[in-house]
């Protein structure tokens, strides 16, 4: 099969988020959407048309947005806060800490256009610190789905989960990876490919890239395990420890700084339980040049072929 | 409960607060003394609450945004039956649930965690908006410090409350004219507060926040807009040597000062 002749269809996970939220809102009248003038970018147009009263738009005021969501939850509403990830997390980090995480408010934080999605808009609009900022907070699951199926499943899960969470979504198209009907399970990795030579771990927009990298490695005679690790906190220690023990080397790839993100979280488990060589791919602690998300991910060494090369080099250190 | 009885309770709360701060060796006594009349009026007259059912869905909501004056809230909650009165003596002790700022998951009657300034009003706006969405009849009250109004998040919330037409929200600004480091006037002088709130389409009432006969009707007032009470108060109210002195923001009285304060507050009883 030649992939370039018949490329897989790509989906914007925001569509899956919005359609799932609308479906849930029709069943549960406590669901409200809270946003910061982000109706369009959060794809809340349909929600607004159907449930106009339940769209709480606070304007361009992210600190107030998160506080208002905590109050809505106190009053028995089920808020989904939808805003661009860099401003939702960075601008209102203390509100997320005190009003949501520490208060354990039943608020679902949905960071849209995370990572390098706003590539050309520059580093102020890149959200490559949000894993680091959110995963240190108690009571706050941190989740980055890899495709539209996992996005829909995670949103449905969030609506029934009694507590806060942070869903990290992109706007960059990704192919389907998980089977239709997939159910999201908090803190559980999905084994996408069995392998014994090295383990590739990613989430969000990077998962389909590590799947391709594993295919490239297979062509080189290297048998790579592939884990989709949507939940960064609480992390699937069991799957990570098994990967370390059974494959002896781990490569992580993420649309995030290599400091404090998925790779760091995996490394913490590895170093505490089963130390093996690791390579963390991501944004290497710099502000990015101008370019699209896809361009920048390639630029930072996360083209599938580059991920395969990194894995191959790592295996030599076993 | 009538005004005279409320005044008596406020004096008892002041006395217990003074003792708790002295015994713990820490606290924010100045701001506690200024806000106690407002807390007393709320908990013993105005708020619709059920201490044995602190999460009752119809309860009025109260948020102490100036969370560093937690001790005054704990004494009030204890006196109103939310927590045992003897528990106040654990204030700031290891593993006590009564830490320096109120915790909603540990202390019955506390609605949201506060401590960092500028958080309470946005959360209160969310509570009032929740009532509008569900048709619930509860009223939401929030108390901020005047220095706290320097936080931009408050003005974001003030805009939202007006836009959402939250006539079920009352903001009380404890206008004691002093913040931690200096007088408000010497730091970032927001006074006069009334025209600023009115410009954002709030209804504003100005009262002496240490006079019960002015506090109660202001809190019970209902209008067509979000309501702000600018409560002119005295930092350290009721204790002669503390009044209007910035250094009593979080200073702890020594034994001699404690005895004087004790005598002054007891005499007033």
SS3 A142: strand
- Tokens for A242, please give them: 């098994």
Nearest CA-CA distance, residue A292 and chain B, Å: 33
A7 HSE (CA, 13 A, CB side): 8
Q: Do A74 and B133 touch (CB under 8 A)?
A: no
Task: Read off the pLDDT of residues B9-63 as tens digits, 9 standing for 90 and up.
Answer: 999 999 999 999 999 999 999 999 999 999 999 999 999 999 999 999 999 999 9
| Omega before A127 within 30 of 0, i.e. cis | no
Kindly report, residue by residue over B69-98, the tens digit of the pLDDT: 999 999 999 999 999 999 999 999 999 999
Q: Are B175 and B147 in contact (CB under 8 A)?
A: no
Residues in B touching A102 (Cβ below 8 Å): 103, 113
Half-sphere exposure of B123 (CA within 13 A, CB side): 33
CB atoms within 10 A of CB A316: 8
For chain A, give the percent of residues with pLDDT over 90: 97
Q: What pLDDT band is residue B262 in, cutting at 50, 70 and 90?
A: very high
Answer for the pair A26, A156: CB distance below 8 angstroms, yes or no: no
- CA A256 to each of CA A123, A200, A249, A259: distance values in angstroms, whole numbers, following the listed order: 12, 16, 21, 8
Q: What's the pLDDT band for A4 if we cut at 50, 70, 90?
A: low
Q: Which residues from B are below 8 Å from A104, CB to CB?
A: 105
- State CA B76 to chain mean position distance: 10
Percentage of chain A exceeding pLDDT 70 = 98
* Residue tagged 């959402």 (tokens): B164
- For residue range B162-199, list pLDDT tens digits in order: 999 999 999 999 999 999 989 999 999 999 999 999 99
* C-alpha to C-alpha distance for B111 and B127, rounded to whole angstroms: 10
- By C-alpha distance, the chain B residue nearest A55 is B133
Q: Is the pLDDT of residue A2 over 50?
A: no
Cα(B180)–Cα(B147) distance, rounded to whole angstroms? 8
CB contact under 8 A, B123 and A77: no
Q: Which residues contact B245 (CB under 8 A, 6 or more apart)?
A: B30, B178, B235, B236
**DSSP assignment of chain B:** --HHHHHHHHHHHHHHHHHHHHHHT---HHHHHHHHHHHHHIIIII----TTSTT-TTPPEEEESSGGGHHHHHHHHHHTTSS-GGGGGGTTSTT-S--SS--TTTSTT--S---STT-HHHHHHHHHHHHHHHT----EEEEEETGGGGSHHHHHHHHHHHHTT-TTEEEEEEE-SB-SSSBHHHH-----HHHHHHHTT-EEEEEETT-HHHHHHHHH---SS-EEEEEE--TTTT-TTTTT-GGGSS----HHHHHHHHHHHHHH-
Contact assignment for A71 to B128 by CB distance below 8 Å: yes
* Inter-chain residue contact B153 with A64, CB threshold 8 Å: yes
Q: A190: closest CA among A236, A222, A157?
A: A236
pTM for this model (two decimals): 0.96
Distance CA B223, CA B217 (A): 13
The token pair that represents A79 in the structure block: 């808020």
d(CA A209, CA A196): 19
Q: How far apart are CA B268 and CA B53, in angstroms?
A: 34
B114 to chain A: closest CA residue: A98
pLDDT band, residue A1 (cuts 50/70/90): very low
Rounded to a whole number, what is the distance in Å from the CA of A61 to chain B's nearest CA? 6
DSSP class of residue A174? Answer: B
Mutate to test the interface with B, among A51, A57, A59, A74 (most CBs of B within 10 A): A74
**Burial of residue B6, with CB atoms counted within 10 A of its CB: 0-12 exposed, 13-18 middle, 19 or more buried:** buried
Q: Nearest CA of chain A to the CA of B95: how many Å? A: 17
CA distances from A43 to A16, A49, A65, A81, A214 (A): 10, 11, 17, 12, 33
Q: Which residues are registered as beta bridge partners of A83?
A: A111
Cβ proximity of A17 and A155 under 8 Å: yes
How far apart, in whole angstroms, are the C-alpha atoms of residue A82 and residue A108?
9
Three-state secondary-structure class, residue A32: strand
Which of A257, A255, A260 is CA-nearest to residue A286? A257
Look up residue B184 and give its two tokens.
């408000």
Residue-wise pLDDT for A143-200, tens only, equals: 999 999 999 999 999 999 999 999 999 999 999 999 999 999 999 999 999 999 999 9
* Residue matched to tokens 């100036």: B66
List pLDDT tens digits, range A47-101: 999 999 999 999 999 999 999 999 999 999 999 999 999 999 999 999 999 999 9
Q: For chain A, what is the mean pLDDT?
A: 96
- Residue whose entry in the numeric block shows the structure tokens 């200024």: B34
pLDDT band for B244, please (50, 70, 90 cuts).
confident
pLDDT tens for each residue of A235-251: 999 999 999 999 999 99
Tell me the mean pLDDT in the region A26-35.
98
């Amino acid at each position: 099969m030649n992939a370039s002749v018949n490329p897989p269809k790509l989906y914007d996970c925001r569509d899956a988020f919005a359609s799932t939220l609308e479906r849930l809102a029709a069943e549960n009248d406590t669901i409200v959407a809270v946003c910061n003038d982000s109706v369009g970018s959060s794809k809340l147009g349909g929600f607004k048309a159907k449930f106009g009263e339940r769209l709480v738009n606070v304007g361009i005021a992210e600190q107030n947005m998160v506080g208002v969501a905590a109050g809505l939850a106190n009053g028995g509403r089920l808020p989904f806060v939808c805003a661009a990830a860099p401003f939702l997390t960075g601008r209102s980090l203390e509100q997320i800490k005190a009003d949501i995480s520490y208060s354990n408010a039943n608020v679902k934080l949905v960071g849209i256009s995370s990572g390098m999605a706003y590539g050309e808009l520059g580093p102020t609009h890149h959200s490559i610190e949000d894993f680091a900022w959110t995963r240190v907070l108690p009571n706050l699951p941190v989740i980055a789905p890899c495709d539209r199926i996992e996005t829909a499943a995670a949103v449905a899960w969030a609506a029934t989960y009694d507590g806060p969470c942070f869903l990290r979504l992109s706007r960059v198209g990704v192919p389907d990876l998980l089977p239709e009907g997939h159910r999201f399970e908090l803190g559980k990795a999905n084994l996408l490919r069995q392998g014994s030579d090295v383990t590739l771990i990613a989430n969000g927009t990077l998962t389909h890239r590590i799947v391709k990298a594993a295919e490239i490695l297979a062509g080189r005679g290297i048998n790579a395990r592939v884990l989709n690790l949507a939940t960064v906190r609480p992390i699937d220690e069991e799957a990570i420890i098994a990967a370390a023990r059974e494959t002896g080397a781990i490569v992580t790839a993420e649309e995030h700084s290599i400091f404090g993100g998925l790779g760091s979280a995996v490394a913490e488990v590895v170093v505490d339980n089963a130390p093996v060589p690791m390579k963390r791919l991501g944004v290497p602690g710099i502000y990015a040049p101008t370019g699209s998300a896809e361009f920048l991910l390639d630029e930072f060494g996360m083209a599938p072929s580059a991920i395969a090369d990194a894995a191959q080099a790592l295996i030599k250190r076993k | 409960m009538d005004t005279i009885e409320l005044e008596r309770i406020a004096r008892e709360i002041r006395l217990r607060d003074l003792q708790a701060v002295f015994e713990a060796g820490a606290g924010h006594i100045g701001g506690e003394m200024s806000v106690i009349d407002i807390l007393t009026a709320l908990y013993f007259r105005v708020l619709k609450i059920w201490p044995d059912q602190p999460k009752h869905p119809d309860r009025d909501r109260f948020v102490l945004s100036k969370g560093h004056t937690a001790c005054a809230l704990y004494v009030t909650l204890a006196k109103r039956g939310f927590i045992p009165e003897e528990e106040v003596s654990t204030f700031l002790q290891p593993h006590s649930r009564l830490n320096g700022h109120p915790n909603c998951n540990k202390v019955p009657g506390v609605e949201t965690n506060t401590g960092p300034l500028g958080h309470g009003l946005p959360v209160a706006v969310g509570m009032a908006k929740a009532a509008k969405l569900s048709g619930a009849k509860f009223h939401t009250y929030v108390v901020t410090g005047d220095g706290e109004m320097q936080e931009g998040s408050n003005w974001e919330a003030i805009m939202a409350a007006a836009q959402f037409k939250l006539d079920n929200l009352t903001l009380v600004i404890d206008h004691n004219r002093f913040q931690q480091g200096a007088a408000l006037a010497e730091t970032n002088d927001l006074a006069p507060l009334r025209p600023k709130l009115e410009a954002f389409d709030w209804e504003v009432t100005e009262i002496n926040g240490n006079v019960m006969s002015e506090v109660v009707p202001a809190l019970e007032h209902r209008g067509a807009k979000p309501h702000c009470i600018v409560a002119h108060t005295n930092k350290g109210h009721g204790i002669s040597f503390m009044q209007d002195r910035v250094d009593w923001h979080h200073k702890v009285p020594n034994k001699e000062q404690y005895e004087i304060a004790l005598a002054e507050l007891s005499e007033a009883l």
